[in-house]
Amino acid sequence: MPSRILVQNGTIITFGKSCQVLEDHALLIEGDRIAKIAPKAQIQGSFDKVIDAKGKVVMPGLINAHMHFYSTLVRGLGKAAPSCNFQEVLENLWWRLDKKLSLDDTYYSAKVMLVEAIKKGTTTLIDHHASPGAVAGSLDMIAKAVKETGLRSSLCYELSDRDGDKVTEEGLEENAAFARRSKKENDPFLRAHFGLHAAFTISDETMARASKMGHDLGVGFHVHVAEASSDVAHNVERYGKRVVNRLHDHGILGKDSIAAHCVHCEPKEFEILAKTGTMVAMNTQSNMNNAVGVADFVGMQKAGILAGLGTDAMTVAMLEETRVALWGQHLRANNPSCAFMEVAGAITANNPEIASRVWGFPIGELKEGAAADVILLDYLAPTPLNNGTALGHLIFGISQAVVDTTICGGRVLMEGRKLNIDVDEVEMNARSRELAVKLWDRF
């Protein structure tokens, strides 16, 4: 018999396209799925665990559609030269850092951020990894951290030609090896994409090989798209095509693929993304930090693109990212009244749809049959909280609340703000600091 967990006395916010607020309802988890949401009296039987959610909102675990675990160990690093544009950011910081990463660095950088994700209520993360000096086995190291923390993650390796032929070959094989593992194991907590860095660092030959391998393996692609104007300029000058057109010609786009950023895409490129069913992950905090611009999120959704929110490793707090995404749209349009429903809908409906497509079963919505990914946050509404006000509370109030309990796949990972996993945080972070010092010395 699967374990039965009852969550009662809280205010349930279901997410999904309708995003309902349910008072006086309880939520029953059986095994790894939500079995029933109904008034408490209608849920009968015995329970292995009862969680009292009085004074709390009960929501689905949050989803991050574009993440880089490996950036963890850069926090506080002051050795990178000042950068005047995005290309210099890559050359002065990220491409210097990723070359020096070891497999231990990869493992601990992932584990630290996964534990942080539990504390922030983010239960599903779609990651994009790069470690040119330690490619083989890197995704297995991240997968190990994912399994130890109990969250969900889709993994890929960032294929690029920028580090030479040997690393390119290793990147192709690392993507393929993990895709084969994912297909074989069908682990409900792990999925695979075929990763590519960006069109401007990948030749036609390499892209063609990656496309064939990904299609043969039956996995979608995860690639940075037109993050900066320099990506567009390179592809137009060298290949005579804009970024989306070139990716489309190589078969990289499609309903299983994720295009991250899309800051400098034109309306005709939106049409291609929509026609191919390609998913998009906008990363406002990162884009603003790198001064590359703010994506036309409203335009994407008007074009019919399934567009959600990622963080590009700026944070694992998805409600923080949601707020900044909204402010970014206001600034982009010079209109403080625009994009509220588009951005709120991204975190409550689009990100769940993205995750559900990647995993192949319902994730990110509280409904019967969906994954039992549930979070509880301390929140007493100071104004009416109902179907008409829920999204306003989410962005302007609940986003500032503290996560009390995090459940993923029916497993209670944190309760009463205390971790319930076999991880010694003090030891983990001490080891991470040791590795960071050594990494910085190599930088």
Distance in angstroms (rounded) separating the CA atoms of residues 135 and 177: 11
153 has pLDDT over 90: yes
> Do 132 and 111 have their domain in common?
yes
Distance in angstroms (rounded) separating the CA atoms of residues 405 and 409: 13
Residue 58, pLDDT score: 99
Cβ pair 268, 295 in contact under 8 A: no
DSSP 227: -
DSSP 6: E
Digit-coded pLDDT (tens) for 50-94: 999 999 999 999 999 999 999 999 999 988 899 999 999 999 999
> Do 136 and 224 have their domain in common?
yes
Six-digit token pair at 68?
A: 């880089």
182 pLDDT band (50/70/90 cuts)?
very high
Nearest to 35 by CA among 355, 407, 370, 375: 370
> Do 69 and 53 have their domain in common?
no
Residue 414: in which H helix or E strand, if any?
strand 411-415
Distance in angstroms (rounded) separating the CA atoms of residues 50 and 385: 25
Determine, yes or no, domain membership for 437.
Answer: no
CATH code at position 192: 3.20.20.140
Residue 140, pLDDT score: 98
Helix axes 204-217, 165-185, angle to 10 degrees: 10
- Positive or negative, the CA dihedral 18, 21, 23, 25 is positive
Digit-coded pLDDT (tens) for 101-132: 999 999 999 999 999 999 999 999 999 999 99
Residue 1, pLDDT score: 80
Within 13 Å of residue 221, how many CA atoms lie on the same side as its CB?
Answer: 31
> Do 232 and 145 have their domain in common?
yes
* Domain final position from 326, 359, 392: 359
CA distances from 168 to 70, 160, 174, 218, 323 (A): 19, 6, 10, 21, 38
Determine, yes or no, domain membership for 422.
Answer: no
Helix, strand, coil percentages (3-state) for the chain, rounded to 5, are 45, 20, 35
> Do 22 and 133 have their domain in common?
no
* Domain final position from 318, 344, 359: 359
> Do 100 and 227 have their domain in common?
yes
> Mean per-residue pLDDT for 317-344?
98
Residue 79, pLDDT score: 86
Nearest to 70 by CA among 92, 35, 95, 38: 95
Domain residues for 43?
A: 4-60+366-409
12 has pLDDT over 90: yes
Determine, yes or no, domain membership for 36.
Answer: yes
Determine, yes or no, domain membership for 320.
Answer: yes
Residue 108, pLDDT score: 98
> Do 211 and 337 have their domain in common?
yes
> Mean per-residue pLDDT for 340-357?
98
Distance in angstroms (rounded) separating the CA atoms of residues 111 and 423: 9
Q: Is 127 exposed, middle or buried (0-12, 13-18, 19+ CB in 10 A)?
A: buried
> Mean per-residue pLDDT for 11-17?
98
> Do 32 and 155 have their domain in common?
no
Residue 398, pLDDT score: 98
Q: How many domains does the chain have?
A: 2
> Do 270 and 389 have their domain in common?
no
> Do 182 and 296 have their domain in common?
yes
Determine, yes or no, domain membership for 423.
Answer: no
Determine, yes or no, domain membership for 434.
Answer: no
> Do 396 and 317 have their domain in common?
no
> Do 329 and 382 have their domain in common?
no
CATH code at position 15: 2.30.40.10
Determine, yes or no, domain membership for 430.
Answer: no
Distance in angstroms (rounded) separating the CA atoms of residues 217 and 137: 18
Cβ pair 224, 68 in contact under 8 A: no
Digit-coded pLDDT (tens) for 394-439: 999 999 999 999 999 999 999 999 999 999 999 999 999 999 999 9
Determine, yes or no, domain membership for 435.
Answer: no
Percent of the chain clearing pLDDT 90 (strictly above): 99
234 has pLDDT over 90: yes
